[in-house]
Structure 1
Amino acid sequence: MGAQKKKPQGKKREAEGQPPKSPDEGSTPAKKQRKGAEPLPTQEGKKAPQELQIPRLDPKSVGYFRRVGETLQQPFESDEEKGIFIRNVFHEVQGNELPLATDMSGSLVLQKLLAVATSVQLCRVVAALSKQWQAVCCHRSGAHVVQTALLQFPRLQKQQGAEEEEETEEEGEAEPVGTLEDLVLGLCAELKGKFLLYNKDTHGSFIVRTLFQVLGGTVLSQDTGRKAAKGPTVASEFEVPESFLHQLQELCGCFGDHVGVFATHKVASLGMQVALRVLQRKMPPVCAQLCDQMIEYLASRNVSAESSSLLVFLKDETSSRLLERILEVSEKKQLRRVFKAHFQGQLRALAAHPIANYTVQRLLSAVQTKKLFAVLFDELSPGLEDALAKGHMGIITTLADTCKRLKCRQRELLSQLMEAFHCAAPLSRQVASIPLFLSLLTYEVYYNKEEEEEPSEHQGDADRKLENVNYHGSLLVQHLLHFEDPSVALKSLGSLTDADLLTVACSQAGCHVLDSLLGSATISDKQRKKILRRLRGHCMQLACNKYGSRVLDRMWTASTLGVKEEIAQQLVEKLHQLQNDPVGHHIARNFALTHFVKRRKDWEEHQLGENKRRKMFSEILED
């Protein structure tokens, strides 16, 4: 079958679970297609030897494996039937692993097969691919096959013993293969010999990053960009043998031989970033040592008497991302040492830079002590208006988030924000702060006024409507509502007109402001109700809006039976319209409005039961 293999004779396929007809059945074996062969990836400037070219699948084999992929998408009558089918397909894979793994469509099928393969089946495929590791790992399709195989380790490591004996007996003719652990260690040996080559290659770097995660027993979340820093970073963790941790440490030792490349090369830098995240969880001392090594190297380039040479790298996109990762994984003492040596006195200039401002954000997020944060805050806070003018709102929102997290400098931040948005004085202007924050506009711009030497008193402008809610503005207000004293933000939020409050509730960014209002531990129920009561008269508009319906649903969950009856009564007046609305029909179903109309007593009992259950669970969680 495929490129070079002839199907063994005298072996009957089980009738049940028979795979699609092999392209070799009833025909002569297809010849190798030398014209379509792909050259083996090599180091830059060197020509690949002719004999190491990658063969391609012939058209019949491509069609066969396409049908296999389609069959795998269909449900099987039993697990046994599926197992027989997969075993038979793996017979056809034997001898064609390399062309299949490097074929665009064939590799997708092979990935599906490996995801459900037994340990022996997977080891046979990986053993065949290991004869040409570089050809597969540096191939755009092959790299994904190797990644899929590596990520099966946690699933298969416990199964290997029993399955190996059983399958080896069934397939006595096949050559014995090593364990999955042996094959992973073999890949480690390959990488150590060509560490820089793999890391600089787009697809090879992909394998290096996956291998670091498997060796450390830590599979990271797929999103590794700047937004990932704010969310969960680990998808799963599992036990690994000691040999893996030993290899992880040895591989990470290879970074020291080419520190400059990993600091500046866009692709190679990614491998080091993943290594740091894994080491932080599994080997903190090794992680700290690697961070120190990188910082020391960067700080020693182009030494200037005026400032640390590290600042030059902070303004480079590739180096700054690596430095962001170093800050995220640094320990308390290490972070303080790095700040004092390289950042102190430079924060405002860095916050104004289009690239370096992201590193300042990561520094703020990484701070774990009030003492260090106070130093950062005092240096950064006078420049909030500059950050606003340059559109670097991430600096402001991260500063607010850190104030909330560490419960430190909250009053001072609010005061600086008022100054930056020109609503600190006179005091009457403070009531207008929330619309300014939400729209990220200063007082004069928002109300279309000329800037004055002596700011005038605030006069409410009924014609000025809140037109939209900015994403970063929403984040800022959310953090302010979680402050120890949210009274200023609450007073301003409560002063919004009903129309503006509805605009906030029905916008993608703004609806989360009301989530914070409902979820903040520093806001009393009385304060919440005072604001939310004004939305009850707009239940129909909320129910038929994608984002407003979320707010209405949260209000419903937090409401007493009397309030729920008031909301339901409003909605049933336009029940038919609500049920026909693409968004509203979900509200009609979730609030059981049909029961409210036809079986009122049952509806009341159900809602009382729901309220009791929620109260009970909230008390359990608080305990």
Structure 2
Amino acid sequence: MSEAVTTKPYKRKRKKTFLSNARKYAKRGYYGRGSHMDADTYQYFVRILEVFKQGFENDEEKEIFVGNVFEQTENKEIDCSCNQVGCRVIEMLLPFANDHVIQRFITKFNEDIRPLSKDRFASFVLQTLVRISATKFFDTNTIVEQKENYKSFCIKTSKFLLNNLEDYIWDNFGNRIIRTCLCSLMQVPEEENIIKPLEDIKCEAGLEIPDEFIEIVQEYGQRLIVWPQFNELCNLELTSGFLQVLLRVLKKADSKLLKAYLEKLLSGCFVSDTVDQENSKNLPPGFMSKSLLMLVETFIQVAGKKMFKKNLETMFKGRMLKLALLKSTHFSVQKVMKFCNNKEQFDPLFDELCDHLGEIIQKGYSSVVLALAQSCQRLSTKQGTFIQSLIKALNCSDCEEYFAISCCRLLPYDKQNMPSNDGLQKEKLSLQGSLLLQTMLNFNKPIKIVNSLLSMDTNDLKGLFSNPMGSHIVDSYVKATYVGEKSREKLARKMQGTYQELAASKYGSRSFEAIWSVANMKAKLHIMEELSNKDGSWSNSEHGKIIAAKINLALYKRNKENWKTSFNKGLNVTKVLEDILN
């Protein structure tokens, strides 16, 4: 008889960090790619990475540390920047360096910017310098003389790249520097994850962008829109990313030029004359490649009302279900719903999807259903229809009392597959399902959701409220505008007999606090009586101690009247503070 083959669950291999790789290669005698670095300097930079990762006790200690590191780079700024490990250290520490150090690096990079802007390592330092220079220029704490130096560097770098645009736009490193320049000039956030530049930066409210910065951005836009290779720019991932940045900065710099870009993209790139606009089975070219698709999504974000409407009618109307069921395009559907700004735009799109929520959930794209619900809430439309459609999709039409738990699991109701009380607490519920329930609780008429929750078995509800996902549902329940006071009182009464267990668990204690925050004095006294009469071991648990301190359990046990008096005083102080603040 052959032995049963046991398969171990797949564990994703943890990716090695930059620091661990740096140590490994040093042992083999490799001291970073790029420019040569001797063993001692390399090991010094590796130690810098280690120390910085560990953190500092205070800002003064960090300032001294950063100053000491940059002393070691004096007259070696370029060599260090062109080395893999040296580049990482400099890029990491420059945001915390003083003006003297930053100006020193700017001077060195200005001497020969052409090769550095295409260098695989130094280009990242150049990006950081541009980002910091722009931030420093807009910082109200920067002295006037330094402001002009930073402004000059931003303009010089941006114009150099503009004058050599044909070379740099196709280059991986140069292209990304241009993106940083554009975002920095217009103070538009970069989408990439970057180290937060400079601490304690203070910028003026209603930031005023210099005309020189706006003119540079406009010149980039004017030059590229007439390029013969414009369609090629849209179809390559690198240059499509650049155009996405350009669209976002043009929204701030030149709305007329932005509109010209959107018209050109919509008529020349996103749709095709060969696509039958009335046939929902055919998708326009804008949905057929990742590069174009990302441009479509940026289009949705930056378009004005007229262009947004035109885009909806040209690309999305009649195709919403097909797009919602495709892995590559369901994000676009979410974005469209998020940026719909009136019922007239949203309602026809909703009608295309509302009868197919089950298909969308089954396909695994429940975030589309969540985006639909959030738009219903935001625009105050189709809320009742959405709830009924979701009830039907989750097979709860004849058993609406199970709707809440089916929604949290985002699985159709199946009596044979319902979790036990303990199982519900430990079960990995759906994040989108929990958020859906929270969103529907904020609808204008959330009575079906309220009734479904209140009709649950008390122990099931305790399990749900003690779940990492489910615990947030209580917050929405007690804070929702259209959940009435009587419904909140019913929940407080419903949970009687479970408060000890709720208060003792990590997520249950969150739910306890939410219920406690809205309970009236009568309900609070019932809760306190329950907690004080039962076995007190709950109050010795990690989370129970916190709850016991917040509700002043010790005073209640000693003297109930004193507890009520002190509690009422606290309420009166809170009310006075609210009146003053409001």
Instruction: State the TM-score bracket (shorter-chain normalisation).
Output: 0.7 to 0.9
Deviation at 1:352, TM superposition (A): 2.0
CA distance in 1, matches of 2:246, 2:59: 43
Is 2:216 the partner of 1:247? yes
Aligned residues of 1:336 and 1:372 also touching (Cα < 8 A): yes
Listed as ranges, the gaps of 5+ residues in structure 1 are: 1-34, 39-53, 166-177, 225-235, 450-459
Give the equivalent residue in structure 2 for 1:491: 451
CA shift for structure 1 position 357: 1.9
Say yes or no: does 1:115 pair with 2:95.
yes
How far apart are the structure 2 equivalents of 1:527 and 1:591? 23
Letter in 1 for 2:136: R
Structure 1 residues 618 and 486: CA distance shift in structure 2, 3 A: farther
Deviation string, structure 1 residues 438-490 (Cα, Å, up to 9, x no partner): 222334xx2249xxxxxxxxxx9999985653222222212211111111121
1:544-559 aligned within 5 A = 544-559=504-519
Amino acid at match of 2:439: H
1:103 is aligned, of 69, 83, 88, to 83
Q: Return closer, same or farther for 1:516/1:210 CA change in 2, 3 Å cut-off.
A: same
Q: Residues 2-27 of structure 1: CA distance to partner in whole angstroms, max 9, x if unpaired?
A: xxxxxxxxxxxxxxxxxxxxxxxxxx
Q: Which residue of 2 aligns with 1:297?
A: 268
Indicate which of 170, 180, 187 corresponds to 2:150: 180
Contact 2:446 2:483 in 1 (8 A): yes
Q: Does 1:277 align with 2:242?
A: no
**1:612 Cα deviation (Å)?**
3.3
Q: CA RMSD in A?
A: 3.8
- Deviation string, structure 1 residues 273-300 (Cα, Å, up to 9, x no partner): 3333343345443333322222222235
Alpha-carbon shift at residue 370 of structure 1 (Å) = 0.9
Please give the alpha-carbon distance, in whole angstroms, between the structure 1 residues aligned to 2:369 and 2:515. Answer: 29
Q: Which moved more, 1:156-165 or 1:357-366?
A: 156-165
Partner in structure 1 of residue 540 of structure 2: 579
Matched, 1:217 2:217: no
Is the aligned partner of 1:383 residue 2:343?
no
Deviates more, 1:131-140 or 1:347-356: 131-140
* Letter paired with 1:355: S
Amino acid at match of 2:131: L
- Kindly state the Cα deviation for residue 67 of structure 1 after the two structures are TM-superposed: 6.7
Matches within 5 A, 1:396-435: 396-424=369-397, 428-435=398-405
Give the direction of change, closer, same or farther, for the CA distance of 1:214–1:503 in structure 2 (3 Å limit): same
- Answer yes or no: is the 8 Å Cα contact 1:361–1:398 preserved in 2: yes
Residue deviations 1:389-413 (CA, integer Å, cap 9, x gap): 3222122211111111100111222
Q: Which runs of 5+ in 2 are unaligned?
A: 1-29, 195-204
TM-score by length of 1: 0.74
1:266 is the counterpart of 2:237: yes
Contact 2:137 2:151 survives alignment (8 Å): no
1:437 corresponds to 2:410? no
CA deviations over 1:532-587 (Å, ceiling 9, x no partner): 33224222322233322221222233334554454445445555554343x44443
In the alignment, the residues of structure 1 paired with residue 110 and residue 388 of structure 2 have an alpha-carbon distance, to the nearest angstrom, of: 63
In the alignment, is the contact (CA less than 8 A) between 1:299 and 1:310 conserved in 2? Answer: no
Corresponding residue for 1:542?
A: 502
Aligned counterparts of 2:316 and 2:59: Cα–Cα separation in 1? 64
Structure 2 residue corresponding to 1:154, chosen from 120, 129, 135: 135
Q: Return the letter of the residue paired with 2:540.
A: Q
Counterpart among 310, 323, 326 of residue 350 in structure 1: 323
More helix by share: 2
Q: Deviations over 1:204-223 (max 9, x none)?
A: 44433322221112335656
Alpha-carbon shift at residue 496 of structure 1 (Å): 0.8
Deviations 1:275-329 (A, max 9, x none): 3334334544333332222222223557334659862331433322221121122
Report the secondary structure of 1:151's partner residue.
helix
Counterpart residue number, 1:340: 313
User: Which residue identity is paired with 1:303?
Assistant: T
Change (3 A) 1:484 1:616: farther
User: What CA deviation, in whole Å up to 9, does each residue of 1:397-443 have, x standing for no partner?
Assistant: 1111111110011122223223323333xxx5333322232222334
Does the residue aligned with 1:298 lie in a helix, a strand or coil? Answer: helix
Instruction: For 1:350, give the aligned amino acid.
Output: L
Alpha-carbon distance, 1:246 to partner: 1.6
Give SS of 2:429's match: coil
Residue 447, structure 1, aligned to residue 427, structure 2: no
How has the CA–CA distance of structure 1 residues 529 and 311 changed in structure 2, closer, same or farther, with 3 Å as cutoff?
farther
The structure 1 residue matched to 2:486, chosen from 513, 526, 532, is 526
Relative distance call for 1:613 and 1:340 in structure 2 (3 A) is: farther
State the partner residue of 1:192: 162
**Cα–Cα, structure 1 residues 310 and 530, in superposed 2: closer, same or farther, change >3 Å?**
same
Q: Which residue of 2 aligns with 1:363?
A: 336
Does the 8 Å contact 2:270/2:285 carry over to 1?
A: no
Aligned mate of 1:125, from 105, 112, 128 = 105
Q: 2:474 aligns with which of 514, 533, 538?
A: 514
1:471 has 2:431 as partner: yes
Check conservation: 1:102, 1:139, Cα contact below 8 A.
yes
* 2:345 corresponding residue in structure 1: 372
Correspondences of 1:158-169 after superposition (within 5 Å)? 158=140, 161=143
Aligned residues of 1:119 and 1:180 also touching (Cα < 8 A): no
Which residue identity is paired with 2:150?
L
- Tell me the amino acid that sits aligned with residue 95 of structure 1: N
CA distance in 1, matches of 2:336, 2:269: 17
Moved more, 572-581 or 334-343: 572-581
> Relative to 1, partners in 2 of residues 1:65 and 1:317: Cα closer, same or farther, differing over 3 Å?
closer
Residues of 1 paired with 2:171 and 2:559: CA distance? 67
Once residues 162 and 600 of structure 1 are traced to their aligned partners in structure 2, the CA distance between those partners, rounded to angstroms, is 65
Corresponding position of 2:295: 322
Contact 1:255–1:262 (Cα < 8 Å) also in 2:
no
Worse-superposed segment, 504-513 or 358-367: 504-513
Amino acid at match of 1:154: T
Q: Do the aligned residues in 1 keep the contact of 2:123 with 2:173 (CA within 8 Å)?
A: yes
Q: Distance in 2 between matches of 1:420 and 1:99?
A: 62
**Percent identity among equivalent residues?**
22
- Cα distance in 1 between the residues matched to 2:548 and 2:387: 41
Q: Is the 8 A contact 2:421 2:460 kept in 1?
A: no
Which whole-Å CA distance do the structure 2 matches of 1:220 and 1:592 have between them? 48
SS at match of 2:498: helix
1:324-353 Cα shifts (integer Å, max 9, x gaps) = 121122222111111112222222222222
- Structure 2 distance, partners of 1:465, 1:78, is 51
Q: What is the alpha-carbon distance in structure 2 between the residues aligned to residue 37 and residue 477 of structure 1?
A: 51
Gap change, CA 1:488 and 1:286, over 3 Å in 2: same
Q: Is contact 1:279–1:287 with CA below 8 Å preserved after alignment?
A: yes
Q: Deviations over 1:562-618 (max 9, x none)?
A: 54454445445555554343x444434444445555687775555434433444555
**Greater gyration radius:** 1
Cα offset for 1:200? 4.9
1:190 corresponds to which letter in structure 2? F
* Range moving further from structure 2, 252-261 or 473-482: 252-261
> Taking structure 1 as reference, are residues 405 and 570 closer, same or farther at Cα in structure 2, changes over 3 Å only?
same
